Structure 1
Amino acid sequence: MVLPPPDRRHVCLTTLVIMGSMAVMDAYLVEQNQGPRKVGVCIIVLVGDVCFLLVLRYVAVWAGAEVRTARRGYAMVLWFLYIFALEIKLYFIFQSYKAARRGAADPLARKALTLLLSVCVPGLFLLLVALDRMEYVRTFRKREDLRGRLFWVALDLLDLLDMQASLWEPPRTALPLWAEGLTFFYCYALLLVLPCVALSEVSMQGERVAPQKMMLYPVLSLATVNVVAVLARAANMALFRDSRVSAIFVGKNVVALATKACTFLEYRRQVRDLPPPALALELQPPAPRRNSVPPHAPLHGQPGRPHGPSPTRDALDT
């Protein structure tokens, strides 16, 4: 598949969000070191940013060329590279804050770090999806369905970032070392994988797919975010008396559990009540497009043939 010319505005905005957040993370890393070590850290982060920018030069353009198509393959690669580099820097910042817990650490800087992540990470995901520029999504109902799916993905990203932020926010009690490491890298893995699954489902929206093929992300988020997050926060409250647990996101996970359970029950009821001919029609692959006119097809100028929209095209548009 040949990609169209890239959307320059999309490429510039994506690059601005990525490099802006990276620059702020570099500033945190440099400020947390003093003396000769500060110069060494500054050189290391500059070299890393130059290498990342060289890779971003090509991947961002390829991702910008997918905006008006059904593909999101390069967007997945760009997301993986961004989260991989961002979380590595975040880990060193977290370790520095952990060493300064008993010292004079600025709580405002920690809050600013959390705010930066909560804006840039979900914002970049929505930019990579670029729902408002999807030319193949023509109906309002389909667009609103996609917008609802993206809203849940953004909430899950904020939930994972809240769990990570509880590690460097000013604490009253300290978690064990194994609990801190497990929480950080569990959220790290989910931030890498779950948005890529959501982008792959967005890539299938341009085709006629069966509903069960669109249930992978809801099932994964239900198991890895909603259930595990509630259990982890409950364990922190009961075992470690952790006062940093967000009651708002606990409520969000409970509501998500109830909503997704109702969705799964409704889906199973519809599949059970669906007649076999309609189910076979839903599961069949889309017909291949032909660039040439069939040999026995009537011309547009022949009389006796009504001219109007094709019923197959109308079915696909809805």
Structure 2
Amino acid sequence: MVPSPPAANKLHVCLLAVLIIISLALMDAYLLEQNPGPRWIGVCVAVLAGDACFLIVLRYVAVWAGSEVQTARRGYAMVLWFFYTFILEIKVYFVYQNYKSQDLGVVAEVVETGVSRFALTLLLSLCMPTIFIMLAAIDHLDYLQPYRKREEIRSRLFWVVLDLLDVVDVQANLWELQREGLPTWVEGLTFFYCYILLLVLPCVSLSEISMQGVNIVPHKMMLYPVLSLATINVITILIRGGNLLIYGDIRVSGIMMGKNVMAIILKSCSLVQYRKQSTSAADPEDKVQKSSLGDPHISKAQSMVLPRVVIQDLTTLPEEEEEDGDA
């Protein structure tokens, strides 16, 4: 059993739990609003039962995550993020399906539904990055006393937050008002692709923080930039470009496309620079090893000469002693 967090971390744990509960409660409000009439009671019972089970698990996982806030470990924080995102995205999926099945025949209903959809996007874009930053808790790490080390990890987390907003923006295009609907298989593939990214990539970033000690090792924090470069910066450009060219979706975010282009350039340059530094750091080590070993022919010659000299000394000394005895 993990001990309870110190008094300094209790406020952090309570604030994190409150934000998680509020975000899930707002998603429950969306579900209840979309199911009026006789279905409201059944949906309410199912939602309350699920929230009760979630609160039981949250009570322990939040305490465990709070016990490691001031250390480099982020194992329970990864579990909490995975569990929270799993529950949140399931509720988002049902909300998205209800929006998809609604009949927008009246103009007033169209305006009201559009505002609620934008509010849903705003809710996700605020709660998910905030909870991730609180789980990372860079300001609570006691071993990061130098300002440079703290800012280096904070700059890496800034890219994670931008990637979260990018994925939420791609996912939000599915339920926000569009001129023409996308095919069903395209919508399902896009939603669950974003779902997997939201589950896995923040956990990868938290695991990189877990591997850091007093000295920050750069090669232990290169997994997330490589994965985000391939799965977010490249793929999301293709998704937005396909929606724009094939389906004529004019609501594609040009700002996020520009962000992805800049991220591809910067991350590619940083990866090339890191590879040059790693190879340049490996060359002096090879030279030192070669200089310490020396020429193999010389070493063999020395190994053959030295035993011969020793044998000559051992054999000549006794002969000199015998000649002196005869004289």
TM-score, normalized by the shorter chain, greater than 0.5 = yes
Q: What is the CA deviation profile of residues 55-81 of structure 1, one whole-angstrom value per residue up to 9, with x for unaligned ones?
A: 000000000111101100000000001
Aligned match of 1:261: 268
1: distance between equivalents of 2:128 and 2:212?
23
2: distance between equivalents of 1:29 and 1:18?
17
Instruction: Report the CA distance between 1:275 and its aligned residue.
Output: 4.8
1:85 maps to 2:87: yes
- After TM superposition, the structure 1 stretch with the greater mean CA deviation from structure 2, 9-18 or 94-103, is 94-103
Aligned match of 1:10: 12
Q: Which of 210, 221, 239 lines up with 1:203 in the alignment?
A: 210
Aligned match of 2:144: 137
Identity of aligned residues (%): 59
Contact 2:4-2:64 within 8 A present in 1 as well: no
Contact 1:29-1:93 within 8 A present in 2 as well: yes
Q: Say which SS state the counterpart of residue 168 (structure 1) adopts.
A: coil
Contact 2:212-2:220 within 8 A present in 1 as well: no
Q: Which of 171, 174, 189 lines up with 2:178 in the alignment?
A: 171
Q: Any residues of structure 2 matched to 1:184-203 within 5 Å, and which?
A: 184-203=191-210
Instruction: Report the CA distance between 1:213 and its aligned residue.
Output: 2.2
Instruction: Report the CA distance between 1:10 and its aligned residue.
Output: 1.1
1:242 maps to 2:242: no
* 111 and 4 in structure 1: CA distance in 2 versus 1, 3 angstrom threshold: same
Aligned match of 1:38: 40
Q: Say which SS state the counterpart of residue 158 (structure 1) adopts.
A: helix
Q: Say which SS state the counterpart of residue 250 (structure 2) adopts.
A: coil
* 12 and 2 in structure 1: CA distance in 2 versus 1, 3 angstrom threshold: closer
Q: What is the CA deviation profile of residues 39-92 of structure 1, one whole-angstrom value per residue up to 9, with x for unaligned ones?
A: 110111011111100000000000011110110000000000100000000000
1: distance between equivalents of 2:284 and 2:40?
69
Note the residue ranges of structure 2 that are not aligned, 5 or more in a row.
Answer: 287-327
Q: Which of 50, 61, 66 lines up with 2:68 in the alignment?
A: 66
* 145 and 210 in structure 1: CA distance in 2 versus 1, 3 angstrom threshold: closer
Q: Say which SS state the counterpart of residue 57 (structure 1) adopts.
A: helix
Aligned match of 1:218: 225
2: distance between equivalents of 1:253 and 1:144?
23
Contact 1:3-1:66 within 8 A present in 2 as well: no
Contact 2:85-2:199 within 8 A present in 1 as well: yes
Q: Which structure has the larger Rg?
A: 2
Instruction: Report the CA distance between 1:212 and its aligned residue.
Output: 2.1
- Give the letter for the 2:230 counterpart: A
2: distance between equivalents of 1:109 and 1:263?
41
Aligned match of 1:54: 56
Q: Say which SS state the counterpart of residue 67 (structure 1) adopts.
A: coil
Aligned match of 1:292: none
Aligned length: 280
- Give the letter for the 2:229 counterpart: L
1: distance between equivalents of 2:120 and 2:282?
54
Instruction: Report the CA distance between 1:185 and its aligned residue.
Output: 0.2
2: distance between equivalents of 1:32 and 1:23?
14
- Give the letter for the 1:38 counterpart: W
Contact 2:71-2:141 within 8 A present in 1 as well: yes
Q: What is the CA deviation profile of residues 88-128 of structure 1, one whole-angstrom value per residue up to 9, with x for unaligned ones?
A: 00000000001115343421111111111000000000000
2: distance between equivalents of 1:97 and 1:2?
43
Q: Which of 152, 159, 170 lines up with 2:166 in the alignment?
A: 159
Note the residue ranges of structure 1 that are not aligned, 5 or more in a row.
Answer: 280-318
Q: Say which SS state the counterpart of residue 211 (structure 2) adopts.
A: helix
- Give the letter for the 2:96 counterpart: F
Instruction: Report the CA distance between 1:272 and its aligned residue.
Output: 1.9
- Give the letter for the 2:190 counterpart: T
- Give the letter for the 1:36 counterpart: P
